[in-house]
Amino acid sequence: MSKEYDASSIQIIENLEAVRKRPGMYIGSVSSKGMHHLIWEILDNAVDEYLAGYCKNISVILNKDGSITISDDGRGLPVDIHPKTKVSAAETIFTVLHAGGKFGGSDSAYKVSGGLHGVGASVTNALSEFLYVDIYKDNIHYKLKFNNGGSKIEHLEKQGSTRKKGTTISFKPDSSFFSKWRFDEEIILDRLRETSYLNSGLKISYLNMSTDTEEEFFSEVGLVDFINYLDEGKSIIIENKSFNANVDEFQLMFAFHYNKSSNEKILSFANNIKTILGGSHETAFKSAFTKAFNDYLKSQNLFKSKEKKFEGSEIREGLTAVVSVNVPEQYLQFEGQTKEKLSSPDVRRVLESHISKELGFWFIENKKDSELILHRARKVREAKIAAQKAKELVKKSLTKKDKMRHISSKLTVATSKKRKECELFLVEGDSAGGSAKLGRNRNIQAVLPLRGKVINTEKANINQILANEELSTIIHAIGSGLGDTFDYEKSNYGKVIIMTDADTDGAHIQSLILTFFFNYMYELIEKGCVYLAAPPLFKITSANNKKNFSYAWNEIELDEIKREMGEKFEIQRYKGLGEMNYDQLWETTMNPDTRTLIKVTSDNYSDIQKIITVLMGNDPSIRREWINDNVTFEEENNG
């Protein structure tokens, strides 16, 4: 158990200075991501109380005024006077940079902590309009208030007696830094869900006061629940394996299983912090997995003649895993204040040998599963060789000159040499494609008509994709490769705009193209380069004056325009893009000054992957179940 949590356990390294002048040094950037980082610092402190064995419940409330309240039922922040600052330890935590009980060693109040370096609470205070602290400790309620980034302080005062225990912190981000941003409920819920999976037995409740949305997160089995959540809707072919043990001074947890997909998904965490860029622990897991599997094959004489050792990517196809490590502060190193990559060399050195040994036992004890992994690994290797041959065949059959001639037979290019200013319109059908070519801005807009539906790349292999004429042309037109070889910097376009009819066929074409981009050109979506065009559904023309007309994109706009005209009018319902003249298509759908575009975004890769797997994958029963759960069917009353 950690030492007593009082003022003497709060260690100080330096005063809090210049946070408001250089916030990016502490939260990464003054953006939505940076603003949410303020929450994570306070949340991490509450989770630290759980890790220390003193907290069972955490509450997060999103308030109507844009502030947020985070509570725990831990020990409560220390309230005695700090020997160096001569103010309460609680006040010291929020006003002095690098003040916290989290630096390891014999004086540490926490053996393991996510709030590395103790900057979190003070930085959250420095970048908030207000931050209020309620402490419930030793049957007394204390209150501490900060305003204007901590420049105004109402010192710690007793409020009365209480039976509660723990700490409640409410704060509102300073609008002078975050005026463009608001807290995003989905981002918060994703983080709370992950935190509950990583800390089995911890209950986390959420309430949005504006929408009355309530959620509760609790997991009894932790990482097994996590990987099942990540692969919801997928067919699992190798069931869950989980491991939880103390390895020297580190606590290691990992869980994995295999699904039928060709995607590898590994999430890693260090001291409950999501390490998006991986690092020592994730590298240790991957290296150990590869070593243990190849060692198993060698020990069982399963390698074929002249068969080489398998690479990690060949073994991990279809693998979903979560790796979590809790590291004492003296060993914990992150790259940057936003803690997205673990860089502790001791972690890799110690964990890799232990993980390899544990997996070695598992491969021997689960020979049928090991044989299945071997079978898949050989298939992956065969497919990789076949794909490389297919790519080489494409290169040989199409020299650069021939390739451009092949593309130019379909693609009408833009004349500008400033590639990132150029736009590629993927247009449904030759008719609409012809109108788009006539109506476009020739300088920056290229047009590629699609004569049919592209294949479903969730079900197709790389050879089928390269053989598909429509997809092959898209790949060559964009010019940045695909899959592992995709290079965003080589893209010929800053925007790729999918322009289809506003009907079910058009929606299906959009889905097929987006599935392809997600699976093979994901960085285009990640960089915000993929858009959906939004052509109007109606043209409303005055019967008395043909020059008086308007466009409507939905029934509500149609009704408003009809009321505004207040006279006889004609309504044209566009059944497809091909019904528009080229000047109409330009004015409504292609002109950057008047058009409406829908940007395709991807805030949560794993959630989108799950939806694509359900809706575009091979299992119709899962698709039917999803539709029944998520789609409301209403009977049309024709009177």
List CB contacts of 109: < 8 A, sequence separation 6 or more.
2, 3, 4, 5, 9, 10, 52, 101, 102
Chain segment 140-176, per-residue pLDDT in tens: 999 999 998 888 889 999 999 999 999 999 999 999 8
Q: What is the 3-state secondary structure (H, E, C) of 205-228?
A: EEEECCCCEEEEECCCCCHHHHHH
DSSP string, 165-196: -EEEEEEEE-HHHHTT----HHHHHHHHHHHH
Measured distance CA(607)–CA(597) in Å, rounded = 23
Let me know whether 376 and 499 are in one domain: no
Output the domain CATH number for residue 261: 3.30.230.10
Out of 248, 505, 567, 570, the active site residue is: 505
Let me know whether 107 and 249 are in one domain: no
**Is 428 considered catalytic here?**
yes
List CB contacts of 466: < 8 A, sequence separation 6 or more.
387, 390, 391, 394, 472, 475
Let me know whether 159 and 248 are in one domain: no
* Inside any domain, residue 553: no
Chain segment 58-98, per-residue pLDDT in tens: 999 999 999 999 999 999 999 888 778 788 888 888 988 75
Contact 89, 79 (CB under 8 A): yes
* Inside any domain, residue 123: yes
The region of weakest confidence among 17-31, 100-114, 377-391, 541-555 is 100-114
Domain ends where: 189, 217, 245?
A: 217
Give the pair of three-digit tokens for residue 512.
């097929």
Nearest CA among 56, 30, 405 for reference residue 202: 56
Measured distance CA(344)–CA(342) in Å, rounded = 6
What value does the mean pLDDT of the chain take?
83
1 pLDDT band, cuts 50/70/90, is very low
Output the domain CATH number for residue 501: 3.40.50.670
637 pLDDT band, cuts 50/70/90, is very low
Measured distance CA(14)–CA(77) in Å, rounded = 20
Measured distance CA(179)–CA(170) in Å, rounded = 19
> Rounded to whole angstroms, what are the CA distances from 15 to 85, 349, 513?
10, 35, 54
Let me know whether 444 and 297 are in one domain: no
Chain segment 187-241, per-residue pLDDT in tens: 999 999 999 999 999 999 999 999 999 999 999 999 999 999 999 888 888 999 9
| Average pLDDT of span 546-552 | 76
Contact 234, 259 (CB under 8 A): yes
Strand partners, 136: 141, 166
Q: Is the pLDDT of residue 116 over 60?
A: no
Of all residues in the chain, the percent with pLDDT exceeding 90 is: 37
Which of 305-319, 395-409, 456-470 is predicted most confidently?
305-319
Q: Is the pLDDT of residue 597 over 70?
A: yes
Out of 194, 428, 458, 470, the active site residue is: 428
**Is 505 considered catalytic here?**
yes
pLDDT at 103: 36
Out of 185, 249, 295, 503, the active site residue is: 503
* Inside any domain, residue 475: yes
Domain ends where: 217, 251, 266?
A: 217
Nearest CA among 451, 430, 432, 434 for reference residue 576: 432
> Interhelix angle for 345-365 vs 280-299, to 10°?
30
pLDDT at 434: 86
pLDDT at 472: 84
Radius of gyration for the alpha carbons in the chain, expressed in angstroms and rounded: 29
562 pLDDT band, cuts 50/70/90, is confident
Let me know whether 42 and 92 are in one domain: yes
Let me know whether 11 and 138 are in one domain: yes
621 pLDDT band, cuts 50/70/90, is low
104 pLDDT band, cuts 50/70/90, is very low
Let me know whether 439 and 581 are in one domain: yes
Give the pair of three-digit tokens for residue 53.
């064995």
Output the domain CATH number for residue 138: 3.30.565.10
Let me know whether 278 and 202 are in one domain: no
* Inside any domain, residue 450: yes
Number of domains in the chain: 3
Out of 129, 231, 329, 501, the active site residue is: 501
Measured distance CA(471)–CA(477) in Å, rounded = 10
**Positive or negative: CA dihedral 630, 500, 478, 443:** negative
* Inside any domain, residue 391: no
Domain ends where: 217, 248, 281?
A: 217
Q: Is the pLDDT of residue 117 over 60?
A: no
Of all residues in the chain, the percent with pLDDT exceeding 70 is: 83
Chain segment 407-460, per-residue pLDDT in tens: 656 888 899 999 889 999 998 888 888 888 898 999 999 999 987 678 888 877
Q: What is the 3-state secondary structure (H, E, C) of 288-326?
A: HHHHHHHHHHHHCCCCCCCCCCCCHHHHCCCEEEEEEEE
613 pLDDT band, cuts 50/70/90, is low
Question: Considering the entire predicted model, what is its pTM?
Answer: 0.62
Domain of 450 in residue numbering reads as 415-535+574-602
pLDDT at 338: 59
**Is 295 considered catalytic here?**
no
Q: How many CA atoms lie within 13 A of 95 on its CB side?
A: 23
| Average pLDDT of span 34-47 | 91
Place of tokens 């044209």: 572
* Torsion angle of C-alpha atoms 353, 282, 331, 14, degrees rounded to 10: 170
Q: Where are the beta strands (DSSP E) in 38-165?
A: 57-62, 68-72, 99-100, 128-137, 140-147, 152-161
Let me know whether 495 and 350 are in one domain: no
Let me know whether 151 and 292 are in one domain: no
Let me know whether 259 and 118 are in one domain: no
pLDDT at 12: 40
